[in-house]
Amino acid sequence: MVDDLSGPEIVGFLAEHIQQMRSLTPLESKHALDLDSLRKPDITIWSAVDSDSLVGCGAIKRLDASHAELKSMRTRPARQRSGIASQLLAHILREAKGMGFTRLRPCPMW
């Protein structure tokens, strides 16, 4: 589902994502978007929910009319290696195609 980033669960989930990414990458190589950046109109973010629990999220950033960049993919650590990221990525790819994107690139740090 497209997420408007207003719920406390997604806010906390993304705060954990930022904290983890900052612990893994040098400051000059920061690619994870903060909450304010994810709320910009050129970003669309989807949340994956299982039994009313947030288990993952992923976003794209519009670069131009036909080109977007994959952003902020995360799976709840306890649910990693369970197929959530693959399902979420497949969903995002279908949605991006439906939005008219013909090119979707990974985040530069990948």
For the chain, the domains span 8-105
Could you give the 3-state DSSP secondary structure of residue 44? strand
Per-residue pLDDT tens digits for 21-66: 777 777 676 667 788 989 999 999 999 999 989 999 999 999 999 9
pLDDT class for 110, splitting at 50, 70, 90? very low
Query: What is the per-residue pLDDT for 55?
Result: 96
What is the domain class of 8-105 according to CATH?
alpha beta
